[in-house]
Amino acid sequence: MVVWWGWKWRCGNVFGENQRCRDRVQFVRELVAEVWKANKITRGNTGPKLRTERQIGWEAPAAHWFKLNTNGASHGNPGLATAGGVLRDGNGRWCSGFSLNIGRCSAPLAELWGAYYGLVMAWEKKILRLVLEVDSELVVGFLVRGIQDSHPLSFLVLLCHGFLSKDWSVRVTHVFCEANRLADGLATYAFSLPLGFHLLDVVPPSLELVRWEDEIGITRPRDVVL
């Protein structure tokens, strides 16, 4: 950059374009200081981020609220895909659940199918206050902020918004996978089921331990960015 300015000043002298002379040494010093400061800020933003370990687990909703956890899973992206979800009350008790064997689709589409069928299930249970937790930040963004009509997933996001706009209170939030273990287990369980939607009145025996650990507040460590 210093060489470039030197060349510019030289050309100005040759063609008579330079204005009144200034302290060019001081100018170069100030320029170097600005570049160094900008580089320091940029490197600070892209360098290693501070992390800390936190205990993460499922948390029951407030009184008179219900919590819906959903998840999608796929073997490949796209690949064979499933989804699962569980509805629980303020005491952590199982109210209803589902496993969905989708067939072949992408991971975000599987996540959205899980959210959609979960909302349908909760609405049919006549829930009035609902917290929807999903461990995909992408899907949470679609549900909270919307999506362009030209996006290939817009049809399903619009279906979800159709339920979100009904006469009930729904909060959509992102959680880490450690707080979404039962929904993840139900999605995995769906790989063993025939294609289609399977409503579950009771927790599958293979997931009873996960349900119990959530209910009593078992947590697991996770490194999170500060």
Tens-digit pLDDT profile for residues 134-186: 999 999 999 999 999 999 999 999 999 999 999 999 999 999 999 999 999 99
Look at residues 79, 84, 147 and name the one whose alpha carbon lies nearest to residue 121. 84
Residue 53 has pLDDT above 70, yes or no: yes
Confidence of residue 221 (pLDDT cuts 50, 70, 90): very high
Residue 5 has pLDDT above 80, yes or no: no
pTM assigned to the model: 0.78
Q: Both ends of the chain: CA-CA distance in Å?
A: 36
Q: Quote the tokens at residue 164.
A: 């979100």
Confidence of residue 77 (pLDDT cuts 50, 70, 90): confident
Neighbours of 181 (CB within 10 A): 22
User: Could you report the per-residue pLDDT of 84-142, keeping only the tens digit for each?
Assistant: 999 999 999 999 999 999 999 999 999 999 999 999 999 999 999 999 999 999 999 99
Give dist(CA 6, CA 95) in Å, integer. 75
Residue 48 has pLDDT above 90, yes or no: no
3-state SS class at 68: strand
Q: Quote the tokens at residue 129.
A: 């206050």
Q: What's residue 138's pLDDT?
A: 95
Domain at 60-219, CATH from 1.10.8.100, 3.30.450.40, 3.30.420.10, 3.40.250.10: 3.30.420.10
Q: Enumerate helices (H) and strands (E) in the chain, giving the number of each.
A: 7, 8
Backbone angles phi, psi at 52, to 5 degrees: -145, 155
Peptide bond into 194 cis (omega under 30): no
**Bigger pLDDT: 144 vs 225:** 144
Residue 8 has pLDDT above 60, yes or no: no
Give dist(CA 187, CA 209) in Å, integer. 16
Residues 106, 121, 132, 97, Cα dihedral to 10°: -80
